[in-house]
Amino acid sequence: MNLTRISEIKPLMERHGFRFSKSLGQNFLINDDIPRRIVENAGIDQNTSVLEIGPGIGCLTCRLAEKAAKVTAVEIDRRLLPVLEETLSAHDNIEIINADILKIDVSELCAARGITAVCANLPYYITTPVIMRLLESNTSIKTFTVMVQREVARRFTSEPGTKEYGAITLAVNYYSRPEILFDVSPGNFIPAPKVFSSVVKFTVRSSPMLSCDKKILFRIIKAGFSKRRKTLANALFDELKEDKDDIVKKIEEAGFPADIRAEKLSLEDFGRLTEVFCFL
């Protein structure tokens, strides 16, 4: 069965009385090249235990099962369970878990199954929370190869000083090295979304990129980007309620001009600021 061919998807959906749910971000792939390329780029082999988020009717799940030792697929929509039972019946290395990926204990799930890779065509309404949750959880995951909205992908990989650059760029780069692999146009899905998508591979850093205090680092990043139009000194003053002159002094001590804005600073720069703001 070709799970990306419309002529097979439609009768399958009719047999199961299934209709797409917009609120669950259900845009299914109709071009087999995409799941193949995701699996190829993810570096899956017969020793890999992989987690898939949102298998839908199983087009990526099948491709993963052909290469991996085991696939654990977490799907929130109960209506897809009988569909998946039919479409994945030829494979004996797939486990479907009916759950919300944002509500399960990912660390426990990954530890119990030796999961080292994540692959997904992510539902766009929860892209950032899912990625942050997986990156922040203490798991054995080494790579995430996931499809997201193109503009979100650009935010993950943007450089300081660009309009896409923000707190989320710094957060994902703290934990991993994100890389855009390829773009996917709306015509590759049913129903077609309004936006382009990109496949991004995140290679998780084996040790944190910075040795500074993580809590203070993210407090400064959050404060700095909460008021984008303000200077970093003013944004930090609003957020931290510390003496303004002290804040300016510390910014200069870290080697930056008093009127610097957060969007100009790299992750390493925020690391330097964290060292001088360690009183927080």
Measured from the CB atom, the residue of 12 and 216 that comes closer to ligand SAM is: 12
54 interacts with ligand SAM by CB under 6 A: yes
64 interacts with ligand SAM by CB under 6 A: no
102 interacts with ligand SAM by CB under 6 A: yes
The residue of the chain with the least Cβ separation from ligand SAM equals 54
271 interacts with ligand SAM by CB under 6 A: no
Q: How far is the CB of 52 from ligand SAM (least distance, A)?
A: 7
Q: How far is the CB of 225 from ligand SAM (least distance, A)?
A: 26
Q: How far is the CB of 25 from ligand SAM (least distance, A)?
A: 5
Q: How far is CA 212 from CA 4, 175, 261, 276, in A?
A: 47, 14, 21, 10
Q: How far is the CB of 48 from ligand SAM (least distance, A)?
A: 18
The answer to whether the beta carbons of residues 82 and 16 sit under 8 Å apart is yes
Neighbours of 44 (CB within 10 A): 25
82 to 101: interface string for ligand SAM, x by CB under 6 A: ------------------xx
Extract the tokens encoding 87: 């479409």
Q: In what order do the strands lie in the sheet with 115-121?
A: 94-98, 70-75, 49-53, 115-121, 143-149, 197-204, 176-184
24 interacts with ligand SAM by CB under 6 A: yes
Measured from the CB atom, the residue of 147 and 251 that comes closer to ligand SAM is: 147
Measured from the CB atom, the residue of 197 and 231 that comes closer to ligand SAM is: 197
- Give the span between the Cα atoms of 173 and 189, in whole angstroms: 29
9 interacts with ligand SAM by CB under 6 A: no
- Give the span between the Cα atoms of 80 and 111, in whole angstroms: 26
- Nearby residues of 148 by Cβ (< 8 Å), 6 or more positions away: 122, 124, 127, 131, 156, 197, 198, 200
26 interacts with ligand SAM by CB under 6 A: yes
The H-assigned helical ranges of 137-209 are 150-157, 167-175
Measured from the CB atom, the residue of 200 and 232 that comes closer to ligand SAM is: 200
* Site residues (CB under 6 A) for ligand SAM, limited to 144-183: none
Type and span of the H or E element at 13: helix 6-15
Residue count, binding to ligand SAM (CB under 6 A): 22
Measured from the CB atom, the residue of 1 and 24 that comes closer to ligand SAM is: 24
Residue 74's φ and ψ, nearest 5 degrees, are: -105, 115
27 interacts with ligand SAM by CB under 6 A: yes
Amino acid residing at 155: R
- Give the span between the Cα atoms of 278 and 191, in whole angstroms: 50
Q: Which residues bind ligand SAM (CB under 6 A)?
A: 24-29, 53-56, 59-60, 74-77, 100-102, 121, 123, 126
